[in-house]
Structure 1
Amino acid sequence: MFRERADGSSCRLCCEFVNLDRATQSAVRIRLEDPVAGAPGRLYIEIYAADRPLRLDKISWSTSTEPLREVSLGVAICSYNRAASVLRTVEGLARVAPDASISKIVVVNQGEPLDSSRFRDLQKRQYRLLQVIEQRNEGGSGGFARAAMELLDAGECSHILFLDDDVELDAGVVRTAVSFIRFANDSVVTGGQMVDVFHRNRIFDAGGRVQNNRMYANHRNVELAPSKSLAAFASVATCDFNGWWFTIFPAESFRLFGFSMPTFIHVDDVEYGIRLTEAGMRTVVLPPVSIWHEPYIAKRPCRFSYYDARNWAIFASLYPHRLQPAKPRAVLRQFLGSDGVFTARSGGFPSRAGSNGRRRSRKTRPAQGVGGPAYGGRTFAAAGDAARLRQIPA
């Protein structure tokens, strides 16, 4: 067993020889009170077969320490025309519900009815676990807020998981996240990483920060296949928020700090995370917890530009110490320059044809623009004055 540090160096903690003629199970014990074993870093094991083929069936990390809290998890899913994906996700969650301490799943559907025969059968079988609410389209902020309200009113949940309707989920990661929450020293917001569904070994996003007029992403585009890449997870990154593709909140956070601001779509997750951060509640994004999801740079058609500009303006009015307003001329220029598709890598809008018919490059400056603060070389939004908005009205 080894401990890998953030600088990529490793030290061996222990070594054990197992005679498979006498045993089919083996346990290696370490004490985290030890300065080396308990130091910040990543624990991992290496297994070598001496003289015959070896197959590892199962490995687990366990502790003899009693958990600090019991967890009853409610799952909130906001859906819009994603019936097949929601069905697949709910079926997976139902299978692990007892082990993952899932007490309730609320699906707020804001699109076409979830009325397939397979979904109706699932509702009949899981009628105690699953609740489906049909409502008009109030966007992601309204859908998640409604689901959280229903779970709070039921009074069964200590924590609430916000889960996107279009994720690909190994439901076992919910069990991992719940185990972490049970032993965490403090009441924390627990996030999962987004793995690029188009590049399935690449982490696209793992939470971030907004400060000094910029947005900083943790573990941006980290390739997971090379073992040396795992050194990035040997330390806990500072995080103000995590996207709502997979984020678990203590239920008390909604009682104390309200719900997300009603922006319909975009920026609500950033604002709510920073609201909790500034109230003293930490956000932790766990390396073992991740989902596959379409990157949001593939979801940026021109029709979202209005929401991005407006919502980042609201954000800037709430947190001027983190984000300053952009100049109106810059906002207008980028609105007029957009033909509906953002370039993911160049940091600007698509090129346009010049007077001679050839394509000419048109770059934007790495400052605030239509979609928000500069984020990884791209521009996301403008910021200006707006009214303070706290929660979904009754």
Structure 2
Amino acid sequence: MSGTAVTTRLLQRQILPAGHDYEVFPLYIDVEDANLDEDKYVIGGDSAAKAMANLDRRKSTGTGRQLNAEQILDRTRLRVDAGQRLSFGTYFNGFPAGYWRRYTIVEKVRLTVTLHGIGSTVVVNKSLANGNSQRVDTGTSDSIGPREFVFDLPLTPFVDGGWYWYDVVAGDEPVTVSAEWTADVPEDRAAHGTVDIAITTMNRPDFCSRLLQQIGEDEHLAPFIDTVFVMEQGTKLVQDDPEFPAAKDALGDKLRILEQGNLGGSGGYARGQLESIRKGTATYALMMDDDVECEPESIVRQVTFGDLCKVPTLVGGHMFSLYARTRLHSYGEIVQPWRFLWMTRDDGHTQWDFATRNLRSARWLHKRADVDFNGWFSCLIPTKVISEIGLSLPVFIKWDDSEYGLRAKAHGYPTVSFPGAAVWHVPWSDKNDALDWQSYFHLRNRVIAALLHSTYPKGGRLLNEIRNNQIAHLVAMQYSTAELRIQALEDILKGPEQLHAMLPTRLKEINELRMQFADAQLHRDVDSLPPVRLDKPTKKGVSVTEVPSRKQTLKAAGLAPLRQLLPERYLSREFPEAEIPALDAKWYRLAGFDSAIVSMNDGTSAALYRRDRATYASMLRRSLALHMQFRRDWNALSVRYRQALSEITSPEAWEETFKPWTEGDQRD
């Protein structure tokens, strides 16, 4: 930036939990010491050693020390009590230098810490990508204050990752601390962008109303918001919720409610994307779920980071559990190319709890995590990118966000899952949507995304994995799921031209189909089902909760498909042979029974599974025939979908789909 006019921009400010929410204190302030785990190269490649190290990484390093809620003075100021040392090397207050170094034009940052309290000390630290930390600088207040300490910090050493943060130590008296991170940027980057927030909602008026209030009531966020679009797709309307008037008052004329039929998440987000680019006044469109709690500062940070990226970049927020609020779902997700399956990066961890092991103690959190996509529970997309590469794929739900990330990447626009930006969401671990109606969309959309983006012949391992998973569902007596997966593959063969037409009707059709099967019929009262009875006891009284060895699992995989061709045990036609809890309802366990009561993951109900060898044989034949057809036709089908992509994701195609709800244009 030498020789060019520059201006100073706020990158990040010290923030504290809104509403004194004690559950999330560890995400903002760390009262514990650092206890860094062992380096992976010290552990070595032995599988047992690696397994033990993974267990050790999960062990709590906490001592039980607590921050007092009254120490939080307001949204940006904290009181450190006399003699106390607190660290701001936390998820929301650490500075993720590796991401700024890799993706933005910023070359150095300025940390300004303001202390009110004599004898207090600020210590600036940095970490390397391997998690090792170093002291950078210190300053001690020799007056009551306020006293500002300014540290100019280069980003050069952070090519692979690493963080900056500061600790504050109080002397004999309490000290009040606030801080901000700034940078000098070219004048053409001085003004911040604005964002259209696109929220798709379906029968969650209470969640949605609270979210709108959170967004509307934050004064620091207000200048960044252009419009908040709520795509109303349900019958329980957000406008009818008792909390909605407060949300409407908070947002004023920035709020627009758009009612339409249930077109799924992809249909809702596509509507928001379309409205945003047609309006043309916002720099970004932010995809956000309706059932989240938001840290409003996250949106400010996503916009700020996006403004300063070298190229237009999708900036995602992370997802914490709404029920275990310090637990991070995933730090960065990829589409594994050989399997073509979304997952957490191999060098990452899922369900990481910052309350039990802090940022400074976890090596893996310091390496920059590059991703393929970010979930649309919170993902900022430059409107320039939407105008160039198109809107969401018309696939109802599942894989719309991951496909979009891959599509953007192919056009030269990366995605960053940005530390310090997050929402709290209902955890997916409490569901098993691979078995219900969503299984259709999981499979159909995964294969469509692979047809569009896989770089391996025939999609790599994908087709073999689909076949094996289908057989697993069949031997587990999950016939409704198996039938929906067959329907998914058959619908793919109909071609991309049918995707828009299917959006309003396919969910109803597949639900009606799956309810024809006993395993899809849920019973809230388990006592309404027949009692458990067996022709003879299980072999050697083996428990259904026992975890089999790899050898036993492989043996079951070989024998279970053949066993399905044998006649069902007589008594099993009337009585279930076992009652199996959801956590133990694995295919290799269910395959040994001819009938069973199986509970659901959410704990609210159970279903009666019954083996039927005629159904099994018929579905197996159809499944194997489809597998062979996909192997034969993969290349031609891939060309067909790739050639149609720009058309089916175009604003014009989506406008046609939205016509039943836009021709009257019932907007607020």
TM-score normalised to structure 2 length: 0.51
Residues 25, 279 of structure 1: alpha-carbon distance in 2 compared, 3 angstrom cutoff: same
Per-residue CA deviations over 1:18-48 (Å, capped at 9, x if unaligned) read 1242x12423221316x55898410011111
- 1:167 is the counterpart of 2:292: yes
Instruction: Name the residue aligned to 2:573.
Output: none
Residues 281, 344 of structure 1: alpha-carbon distance in 2 compared, 3 angstrom cutoff: farther
Which deviates further from its counterpart, 173-182 or 143-152? 173-182
1:1-394 to structure 2, matched below 5 A, reads 1-21=124-144, 23-32=145-154, 35-36=156-157, 40-56=161-177, 58-66=178-186, 68=189, 70-96=192-218, 99=221, 101-111=224-234, 112-114=236-238, 115-120=240-245, 122-123=247-248, 126-210=251-335, 211-213=337-339, 214-218=341-345, 219=348, 220-225=350-355, 226-227=357-358, 228-299=360-431, 300=433, 301-321=435-455, 323-324=459-460, 325-327=462-464, 329-336=467-474, 337=476, 338=478, 349=587, 351-352=589-590, 354-355=592-593, 384=630, 388=641, 389=645, 390-391=648-649, 393=654, 394=656
Instruction: Name the residue aligned to 1:371.
Output: none
C-alpha distance in 1, partners of 2:411/2:314? 12
Residues 330, 297 of structure 1: alpha-carbon distance in 2 compared, 3 angstrom cutoff: same
What letter corresponds to residue 332 of structure 1 in structure 2?
Q
2:288 is paired with a residue of what secondary structure? strand
1:315 is paired with a residue of what secondary structure? helix
What letter corresponds to residue 212 of structure 1 in structure 2?
W
What letter corresponds to residue 449 of structure 2 in structure 1?
F
The Cα of 1:288 is off from its aligned counterpart by: 0.5
Residues 54, 265 of structure 1: alpha-carbon distance in 2 compared, 3 angstrom cutoff: same
Q: Are the equivalent residues in 2 in contact too, given 1:41–1:234 (CA < 8 A)? A: yes
Residues 37, 80 of structure 1: alpha-carbon distance in 2 compared, 3 angstrom cutoff: closer
C-alpha distance in 1, partners of 2:333/2:463? 21
The Cα of 1:172 is off from its aligned counterpart by: 1.8
The Cα of 1:137 is off from its aligned counterpart by: 0.1
2:217 is paired with a residue of what secondary structure? helix
Residues 97, 159 of structure 1: alpha-carbon distance in 2 compared, 3 angstrom cutoff: farther
C-alpha distance in 2, partners of 1:125/1:196? 26
The Cα of 1:250 is off from its aligned counterpart by: 0.5
Q: Are the equivalent residues in 1 in contact too, given 2:295–2:421 (CA < 8 A)? A: no
2:430 is paired with a residue of what secondary structure? helix
The Cα of 1:186 is off from its aligned counterpart by: 2.3
Q: Are the equivalent residues in 1 in contact too, given 2:473–2:587 (CA < 8 A)? A: no
TM-score normalised to structure 1 length: 0.83
Residues 39, 359 of structure 1: alpha-carbon distance in 2 compared, 3 angstrom cutoff: closer
C-alpha distance in 2, partners of 1:107/1:349? 40
Where structure 2 has 5 or more consecutive residues not aligned to the other structure, the ranges are 1-123, 479-518, 523-580, 599-626, 657-668
Query: Number of matched residues?
Result: 369
Q: Are the equivalent residues in 2 in contact too, given 1:5–1:231 (CA < 8 A)? A: no
Structure with greater helix share of residues: 2
Where structure 1 has 5 or more consecutive residues not aligned to the other structure, the ranges are 361-381
Residues 353, 209 of structure 1: alpha-carbon distance in 2 compared, 3 angstrom cutoff: closer
C-alpha distance in 1, partners of 2:227/2:382? 15
Residues 193, 162 of structure 1: alpha-carbon distance in 2 compared, 3 angstrom cutoff: same
What letter corresponds to residue 202 of structure 2 in structure 1?
Y
Q: Are the equivalent residues in 1 in contact too, given 2:306–2:313 (CA < 8 A)? A: yes
Structure 1 vs Structure 2 CA RMSD: 3.1
Instruction: Name the residue aligned to 1:378.
Output: none
What letter corresponds to residue 172 of structure 2 in structure 1?
D
What letter corresponds to residue 468 of structure 2 in structure 1?
A
Residues 156, 230 of structure 1: alpha-carbon distance in 2 compared, 3 angstrom cutoff: farther
Residues 37, 297 of structure 1: alpha-carbon distance in 2 compared, 3 angstrom cutoff: closer
Q: Are the equivalent residues in 1 in contact too, given 2:210–2:243 (CA < 8 A)? A: no
Residues 5, 37 of structure 1: alpha-carbon distance in 2 compared, 3 angstrom cutoff: closer
Tell me which of the two structures has the higher relative contact order, counting C-alpha pairs closer than 8 angstroms and 6 or more residues apart.
1
